[in-house]
Structure 1
């Protein structure tokens, strides 16, 4: 067979093996082949310069991310490393707490997605979202006001505008620290620190908290 005859034959074979995006998406979304799904999750993405291939790969990662048969460790890997909203949204709805926690900590998240995860039913997922610098001040304030918030995260929020986010608007950081100071779930040690806050309204709020122990006791 001549080279001229071989070339069309090769092109025909490639055409026959090409799987349309919709078909590939549905196949991966419903696949029970954990090995195939894992391989796809870990596959390096095409160069962004090849827009068609790159868009196809990220679309298919959405299907892999939403498939419960994709191994948990691979879903966590995607949740930690992916910057694509379509993939992260799928993973933010995962039934596995570790996966959602990884999404909550991913600094590539959009702030609305982090905000959604600050309302997660699992405490450690909420905590990771509130510690993510992408979360909004509104979400931080609501977290500081939450009577079910754990003392460790409240202690983290108590540093806003003092030893963290020092260049943030003072009115916002003050509101967050004051809310922590009023929260009865805030640890005594945190309250003692807030009782010495440079903003008097924060310090006063901390001293009014029934769990605040006077210094030296």
Structure 2
């Protein structure tokens, strides 16, 4: 009697082995395939955790194609992956992380201090950015007139239910920032907050 041939099981590789291989791989095709591979269903907890861990290795590997790193930065909600991408040498990747509204606020906060003005500006406009980071952005003389005009709306046209003291501090800082357009300062001179009005009036009196 002939025995039925046994089906060969695929070789299982330990997570750490695969992680290290992907972290150091120079095979762009392999890295791209991992980057674009759909995640397992969350009901498969082991498979889901393994896949997200391996994506961290892929995200941190500079040999992963740029378009794949950007796609991960735009779509991933996982801090361990986004932290890697937030340190990417490509400004385009960091811009995508800065715009990702699934970020944790501490991670967006890091990007409000990025060396790239574009990254900083995008991070300041992210809804997840903390009030503290917005205040620091409003005080920063490097912040663009467009972003200062955006910040001037907090507590009024944007997030009107936000904490009154903090939002007025942001608007006051905008009023005092030398990059703020005159028309924005003039509008802030009519602000509901006395502190904001005073700051804007002082700025206007200085020419």
TM above 0.5, yes or no, is yes
| Matched residue count | 206
The answer on 1:129 being equivalent to 2:146 is no
- Secondary structure of the corresponding residue to residue 13 of structure 1: coil
Match 1:77 to one of 71, 75, 79: 71
Q: Report the alpha carbon displacement of residue 189 of structure 1 after superposing the two structures with TM.
A: 2.0
Structure 1: gaps spanning 5 or more residues = none
TM-score (norm 1): 0.90
Do the aligned partners of 2:172 and 2:196 also contact (CA within 8 Å) in 1?
yes
CA distance in 1, matches of 2:181, 2:98: 24
CA distance in 1, matches of 2:184, 2:41: 48
Q: Report the alpha carbon displacement of residue 89 of structure 1 after superposing the two structures with TM.
A: 0.4
The runs of at least 4 aligned residues of structure 1 exceeding 6 Å deviation read none
- Secondary structure of the corresponding residue to residue 209 of structure 1: helix
- Secondary structure of the corresponding residue to residue 64 of structure 1: helix
Partner of 1:26: 20
Q: Deviations over 1:69-93 (max 9, x none)?
A: 1111110100010000100000000
TM-score (norm 2): 0.94
Partner of 1:108: 102
Q: Report the alpha carbon displacement of residue 210 of structure 1 after superposing the two structures with TM.
A: 5.0
CA distance in 2, matches of 1:86, 1:177: 34
Partner of 1:178: 172
CA RMSD between the two structures: 1.5
60-69 or 128-137: bigger deviation = 128-137
Structure 2: gaps spanning 5 or more residues = none
Q: Report the alpha carbon displacement of residue 170 of structure 1 after superposing the two structures with TM.
A: 0.7
- Secondary structure of the corresponding residue to residue 9 of structure 2: helix
Question: Any residues of structure 2 matched to 1:41-52 within 5 Å, and which?
Answer: 41-52=35-46
Q: Report the alpha carbon displacement of residue 13 of structure 1 after superposing the two structures with TM.
A: 3.0
Q: Deviations over 1:6-43 (max 9, x none)?
A: 4xx32x432xx222211111111111111111111111
Do the aligned partners of 1:82 and 1:108 also contact (CA within 8 Å) in 2?
yes
The answer on 1:119 being equivalent to 2:113 is yes
